[in-house]
Chains A and B, each alone.
Chain A
Amino acid sequence: MIEVRGVTKRFGPTTALDDVSFRLEQGEILGFLGPNGAGKSTAMKIITTFLAPDAGSVTVDGIDVAERPLDVRGRIGYLPENNPLYVDMLVREYLDFVGRARGLGGARLKQRLDWVVDACGLGSVYGKAIHELSKGYKQRTGLAQALIHDPDVLILDEPTSGLDPLQIIGIRDLIQGLADEKTIIFSTHILQEVAPVTDRVVIINGGRIIADGRIGELERRAMGSNRLYVGVRAAADEAEAALSAVDGVESVSLADGTDGAARFEVRAPFGTDVRSALSGAVRARGWELLELHESPYSLEATFIALTRQARDAREVVHG
């Protein structure tokens, strides 16, 4: 469990975090989203006790990071944005070092080493020097380091940055596999990476939280209405009139039309299902229905809309 309350952090004249609060339950995965420089890394550094906040407080499993930082550090596995590897060491030596520094030893250390090597797929490079490894293996070694002591809480800062698509899927699967028992925060500026892993996101921009919730809820808030695509073999203007007349439809706009067929973007309020009404209206006129489906918004569009809303809101407040 992680609770961040009213955390503010300034570096000289710039405010990296401005009154940031969010909460994460045991066993939850949180996607921490935002553009580069939004304050994601700073927030993670504060949770891991690397930095102290100027105001506000953070607790991990109920322990205050300012009061008992060592207890908090013991519970957290942390992969910073700059992968903290000692490139002069072998993978085996490095993981052994971090394990010992985290208080493991003897049979327990050996058992955990076996586990992380297996879980992170490091078997083939276990005896190699870290500077010889590819970027993907380096990243996995960094992840193995964060998992060596079987922490309750995982803080992963951009764990997939710079990896190729297959490697990204590998890391994603690993994170998902850990999801049941651990509380995980992972940050990214690539929005598509979040949805397959979790639907709980916090979006941060310019040091402020602009959204916190399930991806679905955020879409609703950002976009206001649901979006469907309807393709009909009919004249565009006739079809548009017919679809607009359907109960519950907010707006209809022509997406693209070719000879004798048209494709429309239809907006309807969230929580209503107008699909059967739409197909009924098309069939009643004897037209052929070419397509009819709901189209979820991309996370990018949601993100941009939320960012804009947050900026507008601030302008209203500050006049």
Chain B
Amino acid sequence: MGNVSTIFRREFAAYFNSPIAYIFIIVFIVLNCGLFMTPFFLQGNADMRDFFGNLPLFLIFFIPAVTMRLWAEDKRNGTFELLMTLPMTGQQVMLGKYLAAMAFYVVALLGTLPIPIMLAMLGNPDLGAVFGGYLGALLLGGLYMAVGIFASGLLRDQISAFILGMLACFLLFLLGIPAVTATIDGWLGGLGAFLQDTLGLMSHYQALQRGVLQLGDLAYFLGLTAVFLTLNALWLEGRKF
């Protein structure tokens, strides 16, 4: 655990060593709140449905931008060789990096807390849905983050890692859209429905957004996150040969 926390602290500080972190967080908060507040004043509903509804698409851009540097930068700098010859396992290094990126995302997410506070002052929002929405945002971000760190490991170049991560996240997003899976079903009966059940994220995310906590949805996010982190760990081992 000490090893993970050493890596975590270095990686978390690295985000804030450059102004990019502050720009990222400000863009995250301004865009999200801006996208949310426009319809909010038109509808006059004290809920955050639109806010969380925007996230799956918005995070496709935001999360890969956070994760793109995680391995690609080290490979470019030569520090990858330092990390892989420290007396700790590759998994520990990876976990430290992953948790640092997650912590960065949590900081950005905390910046949106004025919205539920404002809602609570203005009206009577469904706190279960707000809580479920934030939990969904965390799990969704965690999954995208695992996809992103895996993509970053495959490439030396941060921009390529960003684009690959974005495409992979977008694919998970698309597979959860009924119109897309219906088209796939048209090509090969049953395949679209199968992909939507196993990989598509929207149905799982929407359940959380409504404030419904189901084991299956949690298992989907945590399971798929674990799959991508495992792939990353396997890549770390396989790279030696």
* Stretch in A78-86, A245-253, A272-280 with 4+ CB within 8 Å of B: A78-86
Query: B residues within 8 A CB of A82?
Result: 77-78, 81
Q: A85, B79: Cβ atoms under 8 Å? A: yes
Is B88 engaged at the interface, CB distance under 8 Å to the other chain? yes
- Kindly list chain A residues whose C-beta atoms are within 8 Å of the C-beta of B88: 70, 101
Of A74, A97, A145, which is within 8 A of B87 by CB?
A: A74
Within 8 Å of chain A (Cβ to Cβ): is B201? Answer: no
Q: Determine whether A103 belongs to the interface, using a CB cutoff of 8 Å to chain B.
A: yes
Shortest A222–chain B CB gap in Å is 34
Residue of A nearest to B89 (CB): A70
Residues of B with C-beta under 8 A to A48: 85
In the assembled complex, A310 has its CB within 8 A of some CB on chain B: no
The residues of B that contact A97 with a CB separation of less than 8 Å are: 6, 9-10
Does B121 touch A at the CB level, under 8 Å? no
Check B17–A50 contact: CB distance below 8 A: no
Question: Which residues 1-47 of B have a CB within 8 angstroms of A?
Answer: 2-3, 6-7, 9-10, 13-14, 17-18
B residues less than 8 Å from A119 (CB atoms):
none
B77 A84 Cβ-Cβ under 8 A: yes
- CB of A101 within 8 A of CB of B7, answer yes
Nearest CB on B from A29, distance (A): 21
Note all chain B residues with C-beta closer than 8 A to A100. 6
A52, A80, A87, A93: the one contacting B82 at CB < 8 Å is A80
A235 to B194, CA, bound (A): 100
A101–B3 contact, CB under 8 A? yes
Q: A307 interface residue, CB < 8 Å from B?
A: no
**Complex Cα distance A52/B13, Å?**
32
Classify the interface of chain A: helix, strand, loop or mixed: loop
Chain A 98-128, CB-CB to B under 8 Å as 1, else 0, gives 1011110000000000000000000000000
A102 close to B78 (CB less than 8 A): no
Q: Once the chains bind, are B82 and A145 in contact (CB under 8 Å)?
A: yes
Shortest Cβ distance from B96 into A: residue: A101
List residues 53-92 of chain A with CB under 8 A from any CB of chain B.
54, 70-71, 73-74, 76, 78, 80-89
Interface check B117, CB cutoff 8 A: no
Does B10 lie within 8 Å of A102, measured CB to CB?
no
A88 touches B81 (CB 8 A): no
A183 within 8 A of B: no
B78 close to A83 (CB less than 8 A): yes
Q: Assess whether A178 is interfacial by the CB under 8 Å rule.
A: no
A290 within 8 Å of B (CB atoms): no
Q: Does B127 contact A (CB under 8 A)?
A: no
List A contacts of B2 (CB < 8 A): 103
| Residues of chain B with a CB closer than 8 A to A70's CB | 87-89
Contacts of A52 in B (CB 8 A): 240-241
Q: Which of A49, A74, A84 sits near B78, CB closer than 8 Å?
A: A84
Q: Quick check: is A51 within 8 A (CB to CB) of the other chain?
A: yes
Chain A CB within 10 Å — which of B77, B81, B89 has the most?
A: B81
With A50-B240, A83-B78, A85-B77 as given contacts, are A101 and B85 in contact (CB-CB < 8 Å)? no
A8 smallest CB distance to B (angstroms): 13
Give residues 188-241 of B contacting A (CB, 8 Å). Answer: 240-241
Q: Are B82 and A88 in contact (CB under 8 A)?
A: no
In the complex, what residues of B have CB within 8 A of residue A85's CB?
Answer: 77-79
B73 to chain A, nearest CB (A): 9
Give the contacts of A244-286 with B (CB-CB under 8 A): none
Interface-centre pick from B10, B13, B80, B82 (highest chain A CB count, 10 A): B82
Greatest chain B CB density within 10 A among A51, A86, A100, A101 is at A101
Question: Which residues of chain B are within 8 angstroms of A86 by Cβ–Cβ distance?
Answer: 10, 14, 77, 79
Q: How far is the CA of A209 from the CA of B183 in the complex (A)?
A: 61
Q: Closest B-chain residue to A45, C-beta based?
A: B81
- The contact of A88 among B3, B9, B18, B240, by CB within 8 Å, is B18
A84 touches B79 (CB 8 A): yes
With A86-B77, A101-B3 known as contacts, the answer to whether A73 contacts B10 (CB < 8 A) is no
Residue in B78, B87, B89 whose beta carbon sits within 8 Å of that of A80 in the complex: B78
A residues with CB within 8 A of B? 45, 48-52, 54, 70-71, 73-74, 76, 78, 80-89, 93, 97-98, 100-103, 145
- Knowing that A50-B81, A70-B88, A81-B78 touch, tell me 12 more A-B residue pairs with CB under 8 angstroms: A50-B240, A54-B241, A70-B87, A73-B85, A76-B85, A78-B81, A85-B78, A88-B14, A88-B18, A89-B17, A97-B6, A100-B6
Q: List 13 A-B contacts (CB under 8 A).
A: A71-B87, A74-B87, A76-B85, A80-B81, A82-B77, A82-B78, A84-B79, A85-B79, A86-B10, A86-B79, A88-B14, A101-B7, A103-B2
8 pairs of A and B residues whose beta carbons are closest in the complex: A82-B78, A84-B82, A74-B87, A52-B240, A88-B17, A84-B79, A73-B87, A80-B81
